[in-house]
Amino acid sequence: MVMKTGSEYIESLRRLKTKVYAFGERVTDLVDNPLFRPHINAAAVTYDMAHDPVAEDLVTAVSHLTGKRINRFTHIHQSTEDLVKKVKMLRMIARRTGTCFQRCVGFDALNALYSVTYEMDQNLGTNYHERFKEYLLYVQDTDIMVAGSMTDPKGDRSLRPSQQVDPDLYVHVVEKNEKGIVIRGAKAHQTGIVNSHEMLIMPTTAMTAEDAQYAVACAIPVDAPGVIHIFGRQTNDSRKNGQIDQGNARYGIVGGEALTVLENVFVPWERVFMCGEWQFAGTLVERFASYHRQNYGGCKGGVSDVIIGATALIADYNGVAKASHVRDKLTEMIHLTETLYAGSIACSAEGRPTPSGAYFVDPLLANITKLNVTRFIYEICRLSHDIAGGFIATLPSEQDLRCPEVGPYVEKYFRGVASVPTEDRIRIARLIENMTGGTALAESMHGAGSPQAQRVMIMRQGNLEQKKKLASILAGIPERD
């Protein structure tokens, strides 16, 4: 059993034959390409911190299958303490990277499939859970990075999977034989997929009997025959060859998402964990979504800590740090951040065991947390822009700063307080610009599901009938059929 270091993780990627396209060209050197390296560096932190004595209590856990110490990102939650530690770990890593470190989606997929395969077996007499445990042992033994693959392109959202004009708009089974299955379709917005080792395919919505061919969950290598990854554009990605203009040059912005095409991909039966059991597709989606929405007060809390720090620094550099309105806005940013974190801690502390023994978060509080993220992160970023000033959007480039002819003018006219080098002020401005706009904001809105998805879950979990009964009792209204 091995817990990889960051460098071992990076070297392991070199051995893959992942087929990736970006800007219309096949990528030949994924690991050292400046378009991908920041995302790889961010994921590597999750490996290195498992070997850090200060962090290991949060970033490692003891496997309930083997009793051995493993990276927490491969662990199945065994208590509310595990759920709480997960959130604390995510905030700690986000503070260090200032961005998405990508392993959460696969982590949540492992936990969702663990409990749902158990319940399928109990209800349907299948043997998916034992298969999945064998796969989990492999993941823990090798400490591979697993990408959670849930989101389908969906096509016409008013139609169910089986009603689509193009059947490939949802991943589906096109063939079964004695050795396994063949799947076709695509998964969209796949965080960290190009620098993962494997992907866990899951259905993206609740199903009916007519959708049975779309009720499929399985594990496949990211470089399996028939798998093609098309890397997505991100804000400021044309600056990847610069350093200052990237803002967060070492770890990048968000998580390096891609469209992953599955063109008749073979999956052996030992890696298939749902195949036609449409009755459990909705359960798997809701369980995964709740685990994933639990995360956001942790990871976005950590990212917001960095934004707050950068905003406080730019206030220092601008000479306005002592202004009462600036301090009031920084206070509000802290308040919003800690409110998000409190939601993640609360849904973890209120978690409970599933029939499999694995622990599940409180789904209502998890969805409340994610819905708050869709609002609070925008307000945190708005306040950061307010304090920083408009120059974060109109700064000349790093090349201009370095240019012998015009660089001295950039140096002279973009200085703030005299004691702070102009380049320091520009660096913080670029960090704020990159962390608070474009792709990062869209991910806060739609990552782990759009706001409406959370509202549906909140109404479902909100127990209105019980609340009506409480009001009726206090009002003295007699109970009626």
Long-range contacts: 342-347, Cβ < 8 Å, 24+?
A: 342/297, 343/297, 343/368, 343/369, 343/372, 344/87, 344/294, 344/295, 344/296, 344/297, 344/298, 344/301, 344/369, 345/84, 345/87, 345/297, 347/83, 347/290, 347/294
The H or E element spanning position 299 is helix 296-318
DSSP, res 278: G
User: Is the four-CA dihedral 17, 22, 27, 30 of positive or negative sign?
Assistant: negative
Q: Which of 218, 275, 299, 347 is catalytic?
A: 299
Q: Is 114 a catalytic residue?
A: no
Residue tagged active-site, from 97, 104, 374, 433: 104
- What's the CA gap between 335 and 325, in Å, rounded? 15
Residues contacting residue 459 through CB under 8 Å, at least 6 positions apart:
none
**Are the beta carbons of 4 and 64 closer than 8 angstroms?**
no
Q: Which helix (H) or strand (E) holds 476?
A: none
Q: How far is CA 423 from CA 165, 248, 311, 411, 428, in A?
A: 55, 15, 16, 7, 9
Catalytic residue among 47, 75, 100, 347: 100
Residue 344: enclosing H or E segment and its boundaries?
Answer: helix 324-349
Residue 205, amino acid: T
From 135, 189, 292, 337, the catalytic residue: 292
Residue 100 appears among annotated catalytic residues:
yes
Q: Residue 428 has which token pair? A: 């913080």
Contact partners, residue 418, CB within 8 Å, separation at least 6: none
Query: Given 214, 296, 317, 359, which residue is catalytic?
Result: 296
Give yes or no: 337 in active site: no
128 is catalytic: no
**251 carries an active-site annotation:** no
Give the CA-trace dihedral at 376, 377, 378, 383, to 10 degrees: 90
Is 191 known to be catalytic?
A: yes
Catalytic residue among 18, 74, 128, 257: 257
Q: Is 191 annotated as a binding residue?
A: yes
Look up 286 and say whether it is catalytic. Answer: no
Closest CA to 263 of 368, 185, 353: 185
Catalytic residue flag (residue 398): no
> At 361, phi and psi to the nearest 5?
-70, 165
Are 102 and 138 in contact, with CB atoms under 8 Å apart? no
Distance CA 396, CA 247 (A): 14
- What's the rounded Cα separation, in Å, for the pair 215 and 325? 54
Q: How many CB atoms lie within 10 A of CB 181?
A: 20
Task: Please tell me which residue in 18, 191, 205, 374 is annotated as part of the active site.
Answer: 191
Annotated binding-site residues for FAD read 191
Annotation: binding site: 191
* Positions marked active-site: 100, 104, 191, 257, 292, 296, 299, 443
